[in-house]
Protein backbone atom coordinates (compact mmCIF):
# COMPACT_ATOMS: atom_id res chain seq x y z
CA UNK A 1 0.00 0.00 0.00
CA UNK A 2 1.48 3.36 -1.04
CA UNK A 3 0.58 5.94 1.58
CA UNK A 4 1.10 8.83 -0.80
CA UNK A 5 -1.58 7.41 -3.08
CA UNK A 6 -4.02 7.29 -0.17
CA UNK A 7 -3.47 10.94 0.65
CA UNK A 8 -3.34 12.45 -2.81
CA UNK A 9 -5.32 15.72 -2.56
CA UNK A 10 -8.23 16.86 -4.62
CA UNK A 11 -7.91 20.18 -6.50
CA UNK A 12 -8.35 23.18 -4.26
CA UNK A 13 -6.53 21.71 -1.26
CA UNK A 14 -3.57 23.68 0.15
CA UNK A 15 -0.06 23.87 -1.24
CA UNK A 16 2.59 21.61 0.22
CA UNK A 17 6.19 22.61 0.91
CA UNK A 18 7.25 19.05 1.73
CA UNK A 19 5.82 15.59 1.43
CA UNK A 20 4.16 15.13 4.83
CA UNK A 21 2.35 11.94 5.75
CA UNK A 22 0.01 11.85 8.75
CA UNK A 23 -1.50 8.75 10.28
CA UNK A 24 -3.44 7.89 13.41
CA UNK A 25 -1.99 5.06 15.48
CA UNK A 26 -4.44 3.31 17.80
CA UNK A 27 -3.95 0.54 20.30
CA UNK A 28 -5.69 -1.71 17.79
CA UNK A 29 -2.87 -0.85 15.38
CA UNK A 30 -5.18 0.54 12.67
CA UNK A 31 -3.82 3.23 10.35
CA UNK A 32 -6.18 5.96 9.16
CA UNK A 33 -5.34 8.82 6.82
CA UNK A 34 -6.00 12.22 8.35
CA UNK A 35 -4.92 14.57 5.57
CA UNK A 36 -1.96 16.00 3.70
CA UNK A 37 -0.72 18.24 0.91
CA UNK A 38 -2.77 20.03 -1.72
CA UNK A 39 -2.63 21.51 -5.16
CA UNK A 40 -4.09 23.92 -7.67
CA UNK A 41 -4.06 23.85 -11.42
CA UNK A 42 -2.50 27.16 -12.44
CA UNK A 43 -0.72 30.21 -11.12
CA UNK A 44 -4.00 32.08 -11.04
CA UNK A 45 -5.65 29.33 -9.06
CA UNK A 46 -2.71 29.14 -6.72
CA UNK A 47 -3.05 32.78 -5.85
CA UNK A 48 -6.64 32.11 -4.86
CA UNK A 49 -5.45 29.61 -2.25
CA UNK A 50 -4.42 32.31 0.22
CA UNK A 51 -7.28 32.27 2.68
CA UNK A 52 -5.23 31.14 5.66
CA UNK A 53 -6.83 31.95 8.99
CA UNK A 54 -5.10 33.29 12.13
CA UNK A 55 -5.02 29.71 13.43
CA UNK A 56 -2.83 28.65 10.49
CA UNK A 57 -0.50 31.67 10.49
CA UNK A 58 0.62 31.62 14.13
CA UNK A 59 3.76 30.00 12.76
CA UNK A 60 4.79 30.19 9.13
CA UNK A 61 7.37 29.21 6.54
CA UNK A 62 9.11 32.15 4.88
CA UNK A 63 10.48 31.51 1.38
CA UNK A 64 13.37 33.67 0.18
CA UNK A 65 15.41 33.41 -3.02
CA UNK A 66 18.79 31.92 -2.02
CA UNK A 67 20.65 35.00 -3.26
CA UNK A 68 19.49 38.59 -3.54
CA UNK A 69 21.21 41.67 -4.97
CA UNK A 70 22.04 44.72 -2.86
CA UNK A 71 19.73 47.65 -3.54
CA UNK A 72 17.53 45.75 -5.99
CA UNK A 73 13.99 44.41 -5.85
CA UNK A 74 13.24 40.96 -4.42
CA UNK A 75 10.10 38.97 -3.62
CA UNK A 76 9.44 36.63 -0.70
CA UNK A 77 6.52 34.32 0.04
CA UNK A 78 4.91 33.07 3.25
CA UNK A 79 3.19 29.72 3.77
CA UNK A 80 0.96 29.01 6.78
CA UNK A 81 1.06 25.75 8.74
CA UNK A 82 -1.69 24.50 6.43
CA UNK A 83 0.64 24.94 3.45
CA UNK A 84 -1.41 27.76 1.95
CA UNK A 85 0.13 31.00 0.76
CA UNK A 86 -0.66 33.37 3.62
CA UNK A 87 -1.71 37.00 3.15
CA UNK A 88 -1.29 39.86 5.65
CA UNK A 89 1.70 38.31 7.42
CA UNK A 90 4.28 40.80 8.66
CA UNK A 91 7.90 39.88 7.95
CA UNK A 92 10.78 41.73 9.61
CA UNK A 93 13.86 42.25 7.44
CA UNK A 94 16.10 44.00 9.95
CA UNK A 95 17.01 47.65 10.37
CA UNK A 96 13.40 48.48 11.13
CA UNK A 97 12.25 47.32 7.68
CA UNK A 98 9.06 45.26 7.47
CA UNK A 99 7.09 43.85 4.55
CA UNK A 100 3.54 42.45 4.68
CA UNK A 101 2.40 39.79 2.26
CA UNK A 102 -0.37 40.76 -0.14
CA UNK A 103 -3.36 38.79 -1.41
CA UNK A 104 -1.01 36.46 -3.33
CA UNK A 105 0.86 35.50 -0.15
CA UNK A 106 3.97 37.29 -1.36
CA UNK A 107 5.68 40.58 -0.63
CA UNK A 108 8.25 42.71 -2.46
CA UNK A 109 11.13 44.60 -0.87
CA UNK A 110 14.39 46.29 -1.74
CA UNK A 111 17.44 44.35 -0.62
CA UNK A 112 19.77 46.09 1.84
CA UNK A 113 22.71 47.93 0.33
CA UNK A 114 25.12 46.74 3.02
CA UNK A 115 25.87 43.46 4.74
CA UNK A 116 26.55 39.97 3.46
CA UNK A 117 23.24 38.35 4.42
CA UNK A 118 19.58 39.05 5.11
CA UNK A 119 17.51 37.53 7.90
CA UNK A 120 13.74 37.46 7.42
CA UNK A 121 11.66 36.80 10.54
CA UNK A 122 7.96 36.50 11.25
CA UNK A 123 5.41 34.45 13.18
CA UNK A 124 7.90 32.00 14.62
CA UNK A 125 9.97 31.58 11.45
CA UNK A 126 13.43 32.81 10.50
CA UNK A 127 15.32 32.26 7.22
CA UNK A 128 18.44 33.67 5.60
CA UNK A 129 19.57 34.72 2.12
CA UNK A 130 22.97 35.83 0.88
CA UNK A 131 23.41 39.37 -0.45
CA UNK A 132 25.54 39.93 -3.54
CA UNK A 133 26.85 43.36 -4.50
CA UNK A 134 25.70 42.86 -8.10
CA UNK A 135 24.56 39.97 -10.29
CA UNK A 136 27.46 37.95 -11.68
CA UNK A 137 28.61 39.66 -14.85
CA UNK A 138 29.51 38.17 -18.17
CA UNK A 139 30.27 34.63 -17.05
CA UNK A 140 26.91 32.93 -16.60
CA UNK A 141 25.30 31.99 -19.89
CA UNK A 142 22.55 29.70 -18.63
CA UNK A 143 20.35 28.92 -15.68
CA UNK A 144 21.26 26.33 -13.07
CA UNK A 145 18.90 23.93 -11.34
CA UNK A 146 19.43 20.82 -9.22
CA UNK A 147 19.74 17.64 -11.34
CA UNK A 148 16.91 16.02 -9.35
CA UNK A 149 14.00 17.81 -7.65
CA UNK A 150 11.06 16.47 -5.66
CA UNK A 151 7.59 17.18 -7.02
CA UNK A 152 6.24 18.31 -3.66
CA UNK A 153 9.14 20.65 -2.81
CA UNK A 154 9.95 24.13 -4.01
CA UNK A 155 13.36 24.53 -5.63
CA UNK A 156 15.67 27.28 -6.85
CA UNK A 157 16.48 28.27 -10.41
CA UNK A 158 19.41 30.69 -10.69
CA UNK A 159 20.87 32.59 -13.60
CA UNK A 160 21.15 35.98 -15.33
CA UNK A 161 18.38 38.12 -16.73
CA UNK A 162 15.81 37.48 -14.00
CA UNK A 163 13.60 39.98 -12.17
CA UNK A 164 13.05 40.57 -8.47
CA UNK A 165 9.36 40.97 -9.31
CA UNK A 166 8.09 37.39 -9.18
CA UNK A 167 5.33 38.04 -11.72
CA UNK A 168 7.81 39.39 -14.28
CA UNK A 169 9.31 35.91 -14.60
CA UNK A 170 7.54 33.04 -16.34
CA UNK A 171 8.53 29.44 -15.61
CA UNK A 172 7.25 26.25 -17.20
CA UNK A 173 8.00 22.62 -16.45
CA UNK A 174 7.30 20.43 -19.47
CA UNK A 175 5.32 23.27 -21.06
CA UNK A 176 3.06 23.77 -18.02
CA UNK A 177 3.22 27.04 -16.09
CA UNK A 178 4.30 26.79 -12.44
CA UNK A 179 4.18 29.28 -9.61
CA UNK A 180 7.13 31.55 -8.82
CA UNK A 181 7.10 31.86 -5.04
CA UNK A 182 10.15 34.09 -4.54
CA UNK A 183 12.44 36.03 -6.84
CA UNK A 184 15.56 38.17 -7.18
CA UNK A 185 17.65 39.25 -10.18
CA UNK A 186 19.77 36.13 -9.55
CA UNK A 187 17.40 33.37 -8.41
CA UNK A 188 13.80 32.22 -8.45
CA UNK A 189 12.07 29.73 -6.17
CA UNK A 190 9.39 27.76 -7.99
CA UNK A 191 6.89 25.09 -6.98
CA UNK A 192 6.08 22.15 -9.28
CA UNK A 193 2.51 21.13 -9.87
CA UNK A 194 1.62 18.31 -7.43
CA UNK A 195 0.12 16.37 -10.34
CA UNK A 196 3.36 16.46 -12.33
CA UNK A 197 4.52 13.07 -13.58
CA UNK A 198 7.81 11.78 -12.14
CA UNK A 199 10.20 11.78 -15.11
CA UNK A 200 12.86 13.80 -16.87
CA UNK A 201 11.73 17.39 -17.27
CA UNK A 202 12.54 20.54 -19.23
CA UNK A 203 12.39 23.81 -17.32
CA UNK A 204 11.79 26.95 -19.38
CA UNK A 205 12.47 30.32 -17.79
CA UNK A 206 11.68 33.67 -19.31
CA UNK A 207 12.77 36.84 -17.53
CA UNK A 208 13.03 40.47 -18.63
CA UNK A 209 16.63 39.96 -19.76
CA UNK A 210 16.83 36.39 -21.00
CA UNK A 211 15.11 33.18 -21.97
CA UNK A 212 16.63 29.90 -20.82
CA UNK A 213 15.96 26.18 -20.70
CA UNK A 214 17.46 23.51 -18.45
CA UNK A 215 17.01 19.81 -17.78
CA UNK A 216 16.19 18.11 -14.48
CA UNK A 217 14.44 15.02 -13.19
CA UNK A 218 11.21 15.18 -11.20
CA UNK A 219 10.81 12.48 -8.58
CA UNK A 220 8.08 11.51 -6.16
CA UNK A 221 8.98 10.36 -2.64
CA UNK A 222 6.40 7.94 -1.30
CA UNK A 223 6.06 5.92 1.88
CA UNK A 224 5.01 2.29 2.12
CA UNK A 225 2.93 1.36 5.15
CA UNK A 226 5.18 0.29 8.05
CA UNK A 227 5.77 -3.46 8.20
CA UNK A 228 4.86 -5.03 10.50
CA UNK A 229 1.96 -2.72 11.40
CA UNK A 230 2.81 -0.19 14.09
CA UNK A 231 2.01 -1.13 17.65
CA UNK A 232 3.21 0.57 20.85
CA UNK A 233 6.64 -0.69 22.00
CA UNK A 234 7.06 -2.80 18.84
CA UNK A 235 9.74 -2.16 16.22
CA UNK A 236 8.89 -1.83 12.54
CA UNK A 237 10.38 -0.75 9.23
CA UNK A 238 9.44 2.31 7.20
CA UNK A 239 10.21 2.31 3.46
CA UNK A 240 10.65 5.44 1.36
CA UNK A 241 10.16 4.75 -2.34
CA UNK A 242 11.43 6.92 -5.21
CA UNK A 243 9.45 7.18 -8.43
CA UNK A 244 10.94 8.87 -11.47
CA UNK A 245 14.60 7.92 -11.12
CA UNK A 246 16.62 4.72 -10.88
CA UNK A 247 19.67 6.60 -9.55
CA UNK A 248 20.88 6.30 -5.98
CA UNK A 249 19.71 9.45 -4.21
CA UNK A 250 20.50 11.00 -0.86
CA UNK A 251 17.38 11.81 1.19
CA UNK A 252 16.57 13.10 4.65
CA UNK A 253 13.61 11.67 6.56
CA UNK A 254 12.51 13.75 9.55
CA UNK A 255 10.29 12.64 12.42
CA UNK A 256 7.76 15.35 13.26
CA UNK A 257 6.24 13.63 16.30
CA UNK A 258 9.02 12.09 18.38
CA UNK A 259 6.69 11.67 21.36
CA UNK A 260 4.54 9.22 19.39
CA UNK A 261 6.95 7.62 16.94
CA UNK A 262 10.68 7.04 17.37
CA UNK A 263 13.28 6.67 14.65
CA UNK A 264 15.79 4.23 16.09
CA UNK A 265 18.81 6.11 14.71
CA UNK A 266 17.72 9.69 15.34
CA UNK A 267 14.76 11.86 14.43
CA UNK A 268 16.45 13.18 11.28
CA UNK A 269 18.11 10.43 9.26
CA UNK A 270 20.15 10.77 6.09
CA UNK A 271 19.66 7.75 3.85
CA UNK A 272 20.93 6.61 0.46
CA UNK A 273 18.40 4.89 -1.75
CA UNK A 274 19.23 1.57 -3.40
CA UNK A 275 18.88 2.73 -7.00
CA UNK A 276 17.42 0.48 -9.67
CA UNK A 277 13.83 -0.27 -10.62
CA UNK A 278 12.84 -0.64 -6.95
CA UNK A 279 14.54 2.51 -5.71
CA UNK A 280 13.98 2.55 -1.95
CA UNK A 281 15.47 3.41 1.42
CA UNK A 282 14.49 1.76 4.69
CA UNK A 283 14.66 2.92 8.28
CA UNK A 284 13.74 1.34 11.59
CA UNK A 285 10.97 2.90 13.68
CA UNK A 286 9.15 2.17 16.91
CA UNK A 287 5.75 3.33 18.12
CA UNK A 288 5.95 4.82 21.61
CA UNK A 289 2.28 5.39 22.29
CA UNK A 290 -1.01 5.80 20.45
CA UNK A 291 -1.67 9.16 18.80
CA UNK A 292 -1.21 11.15 15.60
CA UNK A 293 2.21 10.91 14.01
CA UNK A 294 3.86 12.54 11.02
CA UNK A 295 7.12 12.49 9.11
CA UNK A 296 8.41 13.90 5.86
CA UNK A 297 11.15 13.19 3.36
CA UNK A 298 13.19 15.50 1.19
CA UNK A 299 16.13 15.20 -1.17
CA UNK A 300 19.57 16.14 0.04
CA UNK A 301 20.76 19.18 -1.94
CA UNK A 302 23.61 19.19 -4.40
CA UNK A 303 26.52 20.21 -2.13
CA UNK A 304 27.44 23.90 -2.50
CA UNK A 305 30.58 24.40 -0.42
CA UNK A 306 31.13 28.11 -1.35
CA UNK A 307 27.60 29.03 -0.29
CA UNK A 308 27.89 27.05 2.95
CA UNK A 309 31.23 28.75 3.70
CA UNK A 310 29.63 32.19 3.28
CA UNK A 311 26.88 31.25 5.72
CA UNK A 312 29.45 29.94 8.20
CA UNK A 313 31.35 33.23 8.00
CA UNK A 314 28.07 35.03 8.72
CA UNK A 315 27.27 32.61 11.54
CA UNK A 316 30.60 33.42 13.17
CA UNK A 317 29.40 36.97 13.76
CA UNK A 318 26.30 35.86 15.69
CA UNK A 319 27.70 32.69 17.29
CA UNK A 320 28.17 32.28 21.05
CA UNK A 321 31.79 32.95 21.98
CA UNK A 322 32.54 29.27 22.48
CA UNK A 323 31.41 28.46 18.91
CA UNK A 324 33.00 31.32 16.98
CA UNK A 325 36.25 29.44 16.41
CA UNK A 326 34.27 26.39 15.25
CA UNK A 327 32.45 28.44 12.61
CA UNK A 328 35.72 29.94 11.39
CA UNK A 329 37.37 26.51 11.28
CA UNK A 330 34.49 24.88 9.37
CA UNK A 331 34.35 27.76 6.86
CA UNK A 332 38.07 27.39 6.26
CA UNK A 333 37.77 23.64 5.84
CA UNK A 334 35.14 24.04 3.14
CA UNK A 335 37.20 26.71 1.39
CA UNK A 336 40.31 24.52 1.25
CA UNK A 337 38.76 21.04 1.21
CA UNK A 338 35.26 21.27 -0.33
CA UNK A 339 35.05 17.48 -0.60
CA UNK A 340 34.86 17.35 3.19
CA UNK A 341 31.28 18.60 3.02
CA UNK A 342 29.81 15.46 4.61
CA UNK A 343 32.00 15.80 7.71
CA UNK A 344 31.18 19.51 7.96
CA UNK A 345 27.46 18.80 7.62
CA UNK A 346 27.64 16.15 10.35
CA UNK A 347 29.45 18.53 12.71
CA UNK A 348 26.92 21.28 12.03
CA UNK A 349 24.08 18.87 12.78
CA UNK A 350 25.73 18.01 16.09
CA UNK A 351 26.10 21.71 16.98
CA UNK A 352 22.52 22.47 15.96
CA UNK A 353 21.17 19.67 18.16
CA UNK A 354 22.26 21.77 21.14
CA UNK A 355 21.42 25.23 19.77
CA UNK A 356 18.34 27.27 20.63
CA UNK A 357 16.41 29.37 18.12
CA UNK A 358 18.01 32.66 17.10
CA UNK A 359 20.08 34.35 14.40
CA UNK A 360 23.03 32.00 14.88
CA UNK A 361 20.87 28.91 14.50
CA UNK A 362 19.23 30.31 11.35
CA UNK A 363 22.61 30.95 9.70
CA UNK A 364 24.11 27.63 10.83
CA UNK A 365 21.05 25.79 9.47
CA UNK A 366 21.43 27.65 6.16
CA UNK A 367 25.06 26.48 5.98
CA UNK A 368 24.10 22.88 6.72
CA UNK A 369 21.23 22.95 4.23
CA UNK A 370 23.62 24.09 1.50
CA UNK A 371 25.55 20.86 1.99
Looking only at the bridges linking them, the beta strands covering 155-158 and 187-191 are antiparallel
Q: Of 17 and 306, which is predicted with more confidence?
A: 306
Asked if residue 256 is part of any domain, the answer here is no
pLDDT tier at 20, thresholds 50, 70, 90: very low
Q: Which domain holds residue 332?
A: 305-369
Asked if residue 58 is part of any domain, the answer here is no
Asked if residue 351 is part of any domain, the answer here is yes
Domain count, the chain: 1
Report the pLDDT value the prediction gives residue 95, as an integer from 0 to 100.
Answer: 87
Work out the number of other CB atoms within 10 angstroms of the CB of residue 350.
10
What's the average model confidence in pLDDT over 213-228? 92
Report the pLDDT value the prediction gives residue 348, as an integer from 0 to 100.
Answer: 95
Asked if residue 360 is part of any domain, the answer here is yes
Asked if residue 2 is part of any domain, the answer here is no
Residues 6 or more apart in contact with residue 295 via CB below 8 angstroms = 20, 21, 223, 238, 253, 254, 255, 256, 257, 261
Lowest mean pLDDT among 9-18, 48-57, 153-162, 322-331: 9-18
Asked if residue 266 is part of any domain, the answer here is no
Asked if residue 120 is part of any domain, the answer here is no
Lowest mean pLDDT among 26-30, 122-126, 283-287: 26-30
What is the H or E stretch that residue 73 is in? strand 73-80
Asked if residue 312 is part of any domain, the answer here is yes
Q: Where does residue 29 fall: left (phi above 0), alpha (psi -120 to 50 degrees), or beta otherwise? A: left
Amino acid sequence: MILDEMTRPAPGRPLAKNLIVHRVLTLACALTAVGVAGSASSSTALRAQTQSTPLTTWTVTIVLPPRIVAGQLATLAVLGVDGRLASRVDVELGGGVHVATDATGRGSFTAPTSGDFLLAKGSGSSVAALIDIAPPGGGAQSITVAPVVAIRDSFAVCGPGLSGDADANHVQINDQAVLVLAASPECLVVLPRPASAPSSATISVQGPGAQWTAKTTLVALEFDAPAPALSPDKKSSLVVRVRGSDQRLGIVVENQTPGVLRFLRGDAQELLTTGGAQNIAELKVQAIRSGDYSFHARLLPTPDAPTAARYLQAAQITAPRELQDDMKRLAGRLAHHPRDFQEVRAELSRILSNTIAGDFRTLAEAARDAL
